[in-house]
């Protein structure tokens, strides 16, 4: 009987050792089969984290045990995490506990209004568009970086930037101010002074140039036309400013009735530049304004070939001939 009892005890110890070995292996072994991204929101709870994580890892029982052991349910950090193949349970849990997140690339470009900018940013960080918009239109936030709520939009230089996914909108704005200061080098400021424009005016003119043409090789010539008109006191008469004034970006053809629309952004009824940019210009457009082409053109009109380029003119007579040719092509194509 005693022999049998000793045998049973030996078997139990052996099985316990095996179980312990398996458990230890689960903590130290590969828990992540393939690379995956995990987004843990500031607005989410621990249950949401677990639901998102479980399909991406093995050894789930070991994860739950160790997570409870070190208090992860009450101490996990929101953020963007990258699970790399070969990571073990210990590494995954500690990454979430200590907030060892990986930055995300936030691309800022191709927007016309602060509302569009807010939506674009909110799609790339852990914030909703309303919260971002509140910051972009805040007088206090704008003043803290040297702008006002109308001109803050001009501070954003289009590019891709690295942020933590959980960045607060206010911190994002402060970071963009640093990028703005970095962009305006002494060399760019020296070029800017050729035109006599301020930084805000340069960004505003660049936004008009960008809306007039997407052909980068033509941008300096278009910029030169507007610099000439500004220097002569001639209204810019830029069609894109009418679209912006009306907030109707679907207009394909600007008619006489549109030119009378009352707005400080309508450059047909107001001399000089609008109060702020009408879109976020590309870097090429900004550089085109800084390096505008010197010439004596005062007019330009889209070519009837619809190739994205323009015909330039020195006199109103030449311009009217170009405009008639383009208008005739619009009519032929039945563009209203």
Question: Alpha-carbon distance 104 to 78, whole Å?
Answer: 14
Instruction: Give the domain-ending residue among 35, 64, 98.
Output: 98
What the block records as the tokens of 107 is 């691309």
Give the number of domains in the chain: 3
Is residue 319 in some structural domain?
no
3-state secondary structure of 109: coil
Q: Do residues 191 and 268 share a domain?
A: yes
- Look at residue 115 and tell me if it is in a domain: yes
Query: Is residue 320 in some structural domain?
Result: no
201 with 287, same domain: the answer is yes
169 & 234 share domain: no
* Structural domain boundaries, residue 149: 104-183
Is 322 part of any domain? no
Q: What is the dihedral of CA 312, 314, 320, 326, to 10 degrees?
A: 0
Cα 328 to Cα 309: distance, rounded to the nearest angstrom: 17
Same domain, residue pair 178 and 193: no
- Residue 333 has what pLDDT? 85
Find the helix or strand (DSSP H, E) in which 72 lies: helix 72-75
| Rounded CA separation 246/101 (Å) | 43
- Predicted TM-score (pTM) of this structure: 0.86
Which of 58, 71, 4 lies closest to 31, judged by CA?
58
- Mark whether 137 and 235 lie in a shared domain: no
Give domain status of residue 80, yes or no: yes
Q: Cα–Cα distance between 309 and 288 in angstroms, integer?
A: 15
pLDDT tens by residue, the chain, 336 residues: 555 443 334 433 333 333 344 344 455 558 899 999 999 999 999 999 999 999 999 889 989 999 999 999 999 999 999 999 989 999 999 999 999 999 999 999 999 999 999 999 999 999 999 999 999 999 999 999 999 999 999 999 999 999 999 999 999 999 999 999 999 999 999 999 999 999 999 999 999 999 999 999 999 999 999 999 999 999 999 999 999 999 999 888 888 899 999 999 999 999 999 999 999 999 999 999 999 999 999 999 999 998 989 999 999 999 999 999 988 888 888 887
Q: Are residues 219 and 264 in the same domain?
A: yes
pLDDT value at residue 16 = 35
47 contact partners, CB below 8 Å, separation of at least 6:
none
Determine, yes or no, domain membership for 132: yes
User: Does 207 share its domain with 283?
Assistant: yes
Residue 35: per-residue pLDDT: 94
Q: Please indicate, yes or no, whether residues 204 and 288 belong to a single structural domain of this protein.
A: yes
d(CA 324, CA 336): 15
**Is residue 267 domain-shared with residue 191, that is, in the same domain?**
yes
Say if 196 falls within a structural domain. yes
């Amino acid at each position: 009987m005693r022999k049998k009892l000793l045998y049973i005890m030996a078997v139990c110890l052996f099985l316990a050792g095996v179980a312990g070995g398996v458990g230890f292996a689960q903590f130290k072994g590969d828990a992540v089969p393939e690379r995956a991204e995990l987004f843990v929101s500031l607005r989410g709870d621990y249950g949401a984290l677990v639901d998102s994580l479980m399909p991406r890892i093995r050894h789930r029982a070991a994860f739950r045990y160790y997570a409870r052991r070190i208090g992860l349910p009450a101490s996990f950090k929101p953020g963007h995490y990258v699970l790399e193949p070969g990571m073990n349970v210990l590494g995954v849990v500690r990454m979430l506990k200590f907030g060892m997140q990986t930055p995300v690339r936030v691309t800022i470009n191709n927007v016309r209004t602060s509302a569009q900018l807010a939506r674009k940013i909110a799609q790339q960080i852990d914030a909703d568009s309303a919260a971002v918009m509140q910051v972009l239109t805040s007088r206090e936030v704008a003043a803290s970086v040297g702008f006002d709520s109308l001109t803050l939009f001009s501070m954003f230089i289009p590019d891709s930037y690295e942020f933590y996914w959980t960045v607060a909108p206010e911190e994002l704005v402060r970071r963009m101010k640093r990028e703005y200061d970095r962009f305006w080098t002494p060399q760019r400021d020296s070029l800017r002074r050729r035109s006599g424009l301020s930084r805000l005016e340069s960004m505003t003119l660049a936004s008009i140039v960008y809306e007039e043409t997407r052909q980068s090789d033509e941008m300096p010539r278009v910029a030169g036309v507007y610099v000439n008109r500004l220097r002569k006191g001639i209204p810019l008469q830029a069609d894109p400013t009418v679209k912006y004034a009306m907030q109707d970006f679907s207009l394909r053809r600007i008619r006489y009735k549109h030119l009378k629309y009352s707005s400080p952004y309508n450059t047909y009824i107001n001399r000089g530049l609008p109060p702020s940019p009408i879109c976020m210009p590309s870097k090429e457009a900004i550089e085109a304004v800084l390096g505008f082409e010197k010439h004596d053109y005062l007019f330009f009109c889209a070519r009837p070939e619809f190739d994205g380029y323009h015909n330039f003119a020195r006199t109103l007579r030449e311009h009217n001939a170009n405009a008639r040719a383009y208008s005739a092509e619009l009519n032929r194509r039945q563009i209203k």
